[in-house]
A = this chain, B = another copy of it.
């Protein structure tokens, strides 16, 4: 008996009782509201923003290969040809490559004593002005405590340092390796969306090696060519290569992979954009990009000497980012569920209108609401 009653209840279907107000005004608002919500769900969430997709971020590996020759002719170095082993420092990096475009060279430095470069804090009249053993980051060496002639007219504190000291010069202008503008770089990028087990390379399958051996990237004519002329990268970032090459700088080579994996694999292609990353404002401290490195030698007496190079150049950071989307039931239902709930908002609005603004509002209320009162019984129950 109980069992059958429970079974009966279990198979009861409960559906709310509905009051249908046959009014063109409210009806129109009601349908319009529903239409808006559904259009939002279908159009905006599902089609434009692909709310039915699960997403994953890209992981990436980049290799680069720069090609080009530059010729310089300076009094220090004489006539000199520069190839990639000379101007790429360090010879390989992970997501980045540095191309030397300008340099201050200080050859044949040894650990010895020499006069500090003149400046407000290094000039001296006598040894009293020079504190033995003192050094800080604005000096080139450790003070020996002596005051020596820097030039015929100027005396500075002597330092123990890599002598001769680097001259505090501005970088040469025009830049020494101005020809770097015509260098080319092949960027190979292999990406993966681990959640979807999807791999791809930026050398697309329809690109053959004959084409690759000759092509240069051009947004209009050769958008799939992964070989870039350095000058083009800089000018697409709205910079002037020759100006940038003097002080150096950092360029971002941005590769965006936005892939809809519900579509054909062929529609998943990289988008290249270029942007200057450092601040080119000349007021800026540590303007541009440069770093010092040295080549070490032993001289005939076995003493260590070095050639110090303050290298200015452009660092190209290859930044790979992007998202892949693929149909997944969870975000789909999440969006549909939330959308359905929004449909409920339409009812709230229409109730407000029909029960407060319409002529027959009292009649509608009467029909919609049934009041049951708790108070009499409560008052009876109460002592």
Contact = CB atoms under 8 A, between A and B. Distances in A.
B90 A371 contact: no
A183 B135 CA distance: 11
28 contacts: A13-B23, A13-B26, A13-B29, A17-B367, A17-B368, A19-B369, A20-B369, A22-B371, A49-B330, A69-B136, A81-B162, A85-B292, A85-B293, A85-B308, A91-B292, A93-B94, A137-B183, A186-B285, A190-B278, A194-B256, A194-B321, A212-B285, A298-B299, A333-B342, A337-B338, A338-B341, A359-B378, A360-B374
Contacts of A286: 65, 186, 188, 212
Interface string A78-89: 111101111011
Contacts of A284: 203, 209
Given A11-B23, A19-B370, A83-B292, 7 more contacts: A12-B27, A17-B19, A17-B367, A61-B277, A65-B291, A91-B293, A190-B278
B16 A19 contact: yes
Given A69-B139, A91-B90, A368-B17, A374 B341 contact: no
B69 A137 contact: yes
Contact of A20 (B12, B298, B307, B344): B12
Interface of A: 8, 10-31, 40, 44-45, 49, 51, 57, 59, 61, 63, 65, 67-69, 71, 78-81, 83-86, 88-96, 98, 111, 135-137, 139-142, 160-162, 182-184, 186, 188, 190, 192, 194, 199, 201, 203, 208-209, 212-213, 250, 252, 254, 256, 275, 277-279, 283-286, 289, 291-300, 306-308, 311, 315, 317, 319, 321, 329-330, 333-342, 344-345, 347, 350-351, 354, 358-360, 363-364, 367-375, 377-378, 381
Closest 8 CB pairs of A and B: A337-B338, A11-B27, A23-B374, A91-B293, A337-B341, A212-B285, A341-B341, A85-B294
B20 A372 contact: yes
Contacts of A306: 85
B252 A61 contact: yes
A317 B319 CA distance: 16
B291 A92 contact: yes
